[in-house]
Structures are given as C-alpha cells and as structure tokens.
Amino acid sequence: MKIGITCYPTYGGSGVLATELGKALAKRGHQIHFISYAMPMRLNGGFDNNIFYHEVEMTTYPVFEFPLYTPALASKMVEVANFEGLDLLHVHYAIPHATSAYLAKKMIQNDKFRVVTTLHGTDITLVGLEPSFLSVMKFSIEKSDGVTAVSRHLKEKTLTNYAINKEIDVIPNFVDVEEYRHVDDSCIRRKFSLDDKRILIHVSNFRPVKRVMDVVKIFDIVQKKIPAALILVGDGPERSNCEMLVRELGLQHSVKFLGKQNELPEILSAADIFLMPSQSESFGLSALEAMACEVPVISSSVGGLPELVVHNQTGYIAEIGDVERMAKYAVDLLTNETKREMFAKEGRKRAMEMFNLDKIVGEYERHYEKILNLPKVD
C-alpha cells in the first residue's frame, strides 16, 4: 500500500507511535509518506527506501494574525496523494489533522482514496472539547473513513463526549520489544555513581497532565526510607516548577534532570521503578516502554492506564494525587527484590504478548484493508 502519515513531529506519544508505525509498515513493504511541518523526531533522519518525508510549508503574511496550518496541511496532503498515488492517509491526533484530511479527501481525484484517524488522548479528552473546536471535531471524526482509538477508555470517551455514531476500532499502542529490552550494564548508574541507590524514573513531556510534581513528592517520601535517586527524562512547561520543588525539598543531589533523550532502553534499564501519576492518560506509551525494559510501573488509575498496568502483577495503581500510597507501593517493591523482579518479568511478558509491534502493526494493516473495501464516507 501507499500510505500517507500525518502526526505531530515533536516529542509526544502520538508522534512517536505514528513514526514507529510508519517505520514498521515500511519494513513490511508499504511505501510510507510522512506529511508534517517538521521531520518526525523518531525518524532520526535515517534512510529507508520506502520512507519519504514531505514538509508542509507555512506562509506568513501581515494580514494573518495566526498561522494557517490546517489549509496548508490539506494542500500538501492533496499534492502528495495525487502525485504519489496514495491509497490512504492515516492521521494521528484529530486536531487539526482529521480536519485537513477531510478537506484533502474532498479535493483528491481518486475515488478509492480513504482517510483513517487515530485518536490519541487529549485531542478527545481535553482540547477537542473546547467550544471553539467541538463541532468541527465531531464532524471530522465522523467523516473519517476509519477511526481507531488507543484504548477502550478513549473509545468510550469519544462516543459519549461527542455523541458520535461511528464504529471505532480499539488498536492499542505498541512497543518494539527487540529494541526496548533490558540492558544489563546501563551507563546511567556509572555516569551518576548510583550503584548503591535504588532508581525511580519518570519520562514525559512535562505537561501539567503528567503531574511531574507528584513524581518529586513521591520520591521525597521514598528517599526518606531508602537510599534512592530520581531520574527525570523529557522537557516541557512544568520542568522549571519541578526544579524549584526539588531545590525547596533539598533533593538537588539525588534528582537528575536529563532533558530530552534518545537512548531510552539503556536509560530505562537503569531504573527499578517507573512512575506515571498522570491526571489523564489515554494509554501511557512511555509506561509500556518501561515495562518492555523490565521496569515495574506505579501509576494513577486514570484513563487507559488500567488497561496497560495490571495492579499487583506488573505494577501498582492508585488514585490521582495519592502520593502517599504511590510512595508506599514504591517502598514495598524496593524492599522486596523478589517481588520487584517478578513484576518486572510480568511487565515484559505483558508487553510481548499484548502490545508487541508485530501484533499491533498487523491490526493496523487489517484495519486499512477493511476500510479500503468499505464505501467512502462523503
């Protein structure tokens, strides 16, 4: 198949997932055309015969007070679809990608061309509910030929929030279990001389929904009970507040801010526990990556997280904001190595059985085939 993929190219689960999907589909012989305003981060500029990247050019003009990305993206979609003969366009994160895709579909002179939209989370649970977006979101989702959601929870939210009368297939996120596996001799312990400490880790885009301040609070409780260090990977709006809290609590010597990183399997492998105390999380891709690297996850009970983390088997789940309980779970695991290792193995097993790349990419292929054989939605 010739498939166009549109996603946000920056750090963030939806862009990561879309890029890894494109790379995996290319390996299976499909021709993949990424269409975005910048090179997707996980493409790493790597060369593959089956992967192409088309940049959306943005025009500025004094009359335009706001950038006009939606029509610019639609025009690029039309150009690529017509010129490259795309069979379908798969857009990740509905705003504004599904809207641009609908516009493009109306202009593309190929009756067989289809649009698939994957809903990732805040496009549905937060941003899309803004009154200024609501009706366009509902319309754009209903006008997609195929719609997938990354968890059952997100599917239910979409159906209720938008009163949508549309079939939505749940296709969960995936991880490449060959790439994401435990590395025995991780450089992080040596680099920071952490051999005598237990390591807690958190990876995110540091947006308020991730509640990174809770991560610091949990760590503060844990380090009072056992020698421990906290590794924070990623960057975003909450980072300065977190750095301030770390200094206020006097934790600056045991908390390491690594910023954005690429070598995640190696970094994750250094950790004993992964923390994800999010306010909202439709799936929790970085928790899955941790599980694949044999790191038990302690998370909040929101959104799709209970579909990923099995309480008392691959990690623990607690109410949002219950930092005391999350810390208690962390201490429990860190003082019982047999249990921690059992959780670690169970997490890896679950990642391999339920969320491995081959299984889920196959589900996407079957979804595409189904949609290509159904009548076009006008």
x-marked contacts with ligand GMT along 146-185 as a string, rule CB under 6 A:
----x----------------------x------------
Total number of residues that touch ligand GMT (CB under 6 A): 20
Near ligand GMT in 73-112, by CB under 6 A: 93
21 binds ligand GMT (CB under 6 A): no
277 binds ligand GMT (CB under 6 A): no
Beta carbon of residue 14, minimum distance to ligand GMT (angstroms, whole number)? 3
- Between residues 114 and 120, which has the closer beta carbon with respect to ligand GMT? 120
Interface residue with ligand GMT among 4, 234, 265, 284 (CB under 6 A) is 284
- Between residues 128 and 265, which has the closer beta carbon with respect to ligand GMT? 128
Beta carbon of residue 5, minimum distance to ligand GMT (angstroms, whole number)? 14
Near ligand GMT in 192-211, by CB under 6 A: 209
Near ligand GMT in 296-335, by CB under 6 A: 303
Instruction: Tell me the C-alpha distance between 223 and 229, whole Å.
Output: 7
17 binds ligand GMT (CB under 6 A): yes
- Between residues 188 and 203, which has the closer beta carbon with respect to ligand GMT? 203
Beta carbon of residue 114, minimum distance to ligand GMT (angstroms, whole number)? 21
Near ligand GMT by CB under 6 A, which window of 120-128, 263-271, 317-325, 363-371?
120-128
- Between residues 43 and 285, which has the closer beta carbon with respect to ligand GMT? 285
* CB-based closest residue to ligand GMT: 121
Beta carbon of residue 283, minimum distance to ligand GMT (angstroms, whole number)? 4
Instruction: Tell me the C-alpha distance between 93 and 117, whole Å.
Output: 7
- Between residues 128 and 296, which has the closer beta carbon with respect to ligand GMT? 128
- Between residues 121 and 296, which has the closer beta carbon with respect to ligand GMT? 121
Q: Under a CB-based contact definition with an 8 Å cutoff, are residues 155 and 311 in contact?
A: no
Interface residue with ligand GMT among 31, 282, 300, 356 (CB under 6 A) is 282
Residues in contact with ligand GMT by CB under 6 A are: 8, 12-15, 17, 93, 120-122, 150, 173, 209, 280-285, 303
